[in-house]
Structure 1
Amino acid sequence: MLPANPQARRSRLKIFNAVVCVVGVMVSVYAYVVETRAEEDPKYAPMCDLSPNVSCTKAFNSEYGKGMGLLQRFVGNESVLVQPNSVYGIIFYITVLICGTFDGSGWDKLHFFLCILSNITSVYLAYILYFILYDLCVVCVTTYVCNALLLIGSWYRPSAVVAKPKAP
């Protein structure tokens, strides 16, 4: 439960944000390592490949594993913008970690916006994972959980959702 004192609540939310972001970065780095090793060595079997239908490499190596399956349509496969999804995850979690350390309405709103955007992306990728690839990627689902937790934490930031009333 969050404390009633706004300063104590903000302090706990900052710690929560930092922990979830660090987990997100670690999971994204693991995903990047797995994806690059799997590209280099087709016989590589990572820990996250548990069965044919529970496989992270199936998701990472799919057409949706880079650029979220969208960027290629706009900028081509060879563009520097088309990176493994894990790279976007690393950038996202570091950005949200930084936003979460600052106080102020603008930072809170940016944090909240980024968390909403990441959850929309998670729903899109989860749909692809389940209904198109017929796969369960433990690493992917872990990032979806991190994104949901960040959104919940962002919702409780004092000035993220509603503006504070001004004194008369």
Structure 2
Amino acid sequence: MAASVKQLSTFIAIACVIGLALSLNSYYLAITLEEDDEYEAWCDISGYSSCTKVLQSEYSSGFGLIAPYLGNDSFLNVSNGIFGLLFYTIELILGFSTSSLTVKAQAVLLFLSNAVLAWLAYVLLFEIQELCIICIGLYFTNVIITVLTIVRFRRLQQAKPKPSSGTKKKAPAKKGRSKKD
């Protein structure tokens, strides 16, 4: 049985709440690590999986892209967790709209977000060379929201009434006497 648009919106909302929780945790850990270098995050589970190393890297603020171009003091060079909180809040709000335009806007934001996360996944694996449970959780959350949004958009398109062909059939001419007679 296929999920309805309302059910898909609910699933998107649940995924957004998970994204918000992960982003909030990332932001909390980033702040805590700034204040206490000795703090050990709950997600530091082995020599290969360390959220601490990731959150203390240059890539944990402004995606590692803002500081080189706009400087460390730029208002955009904030913790990636802040961007996540903003993004998932917007996605949560947009997720309940049934407007095609809103769903398209949601898809564009998801595309941009997935591009940024692909960049961060590359950095995670090849630059920092650590696994981060929070980061991987965010990657999966975004993929789930993206798939659900695409399915939701298709369902909304299917639910739209089909436009007519544009040519109206003319009413048959009345038989009988014309005014000229």
TM-score under structure 1 length normalisation: 0.91
Deviation of 1:158 after TM superposition, in Å, equals 3.2
Does residue 166 (structure 1) correspond to residue 160 (structure 2)? The answer is: no
Higher Rg of the two aligned structures: 2
Out of 56, 65, 82, the residue aligned to residue 87 of structure 1 is 82
Q: How does 1:18-37 map to 2 (within 5 A)?
A: 18-37=13-32
The CA deviation string for residues 87-127 of structure 1, in whole angstroms up to 9 with x for no partner, is 10000000000111111110110111111111111111111
Query: How far apart in 2 are the matches of 1:24 and 1:167?
Result: 42
The 1:137–1:20 alpha-carbon spacing in structure 2 relative to 1, beyond 3 Å, is: same
The CA deviation string for residues 49-86 of structure 1, in whole angstroms up to 9 with x for no partner, is 11232011111111111000101122110111110111
Query: How far apart in 1 are the matches of 2:37 and 2:64?
Result: 22
Q: Which residue of 2 aligns with 1:118?
A: 113
Query: How far apart in 2 are the matches of 1:18 and 1:115?
Result: 14
Deviation of 1:159 after TM superposition, in Å, equals 5.0
Assess if the C-alpha contact under 8 Å between 2:50 and 2:132 holds in 1: yes
Identify unmatched segments of 5+ residues in structure 1: 4-8
Could you list the structure 1 runs, at least 4 aligned residues long, displaced by more than 3 angstroms after superposition: 158-165
Assess if the C-alpha contact under 8 Å between 2:12 and 2:92 holds in 1: yes
Q: Which residue of 2 aligns with 1:131?
A: 126
TM-score under structure 2 length normalisation: 0.84
Assess if the C-alpha contact under 8 Å between 1:154 and 1:160 holds in 2: no
Out of 86, 95, 100, the residue aligned to residue 100 of structure 1 is 95
The 1:11–1:128 alpha-carbon spacing in structure 2 relative to 1, beyond 3 Å, is: same
Q: Which amino acid aligns with 2:91?
A: V
Q: How does 1:39-58 map to 2 (within 5 A)?
A: 39-58=34-53
Query: How far apart in 1 are the matches of 2:101 and 2:75?
Result: 30
Between the aligned residues of both structures, percent identity stands at: 34
Does residue 76 (structure 1) correspond to residue 71 (structure 2)? The answer is: yes
Identify unmatched segments of 5+ residues in structure 2: 166-181
Over aligned residue pairs, what C-alpha RMSD do you find?
1.8
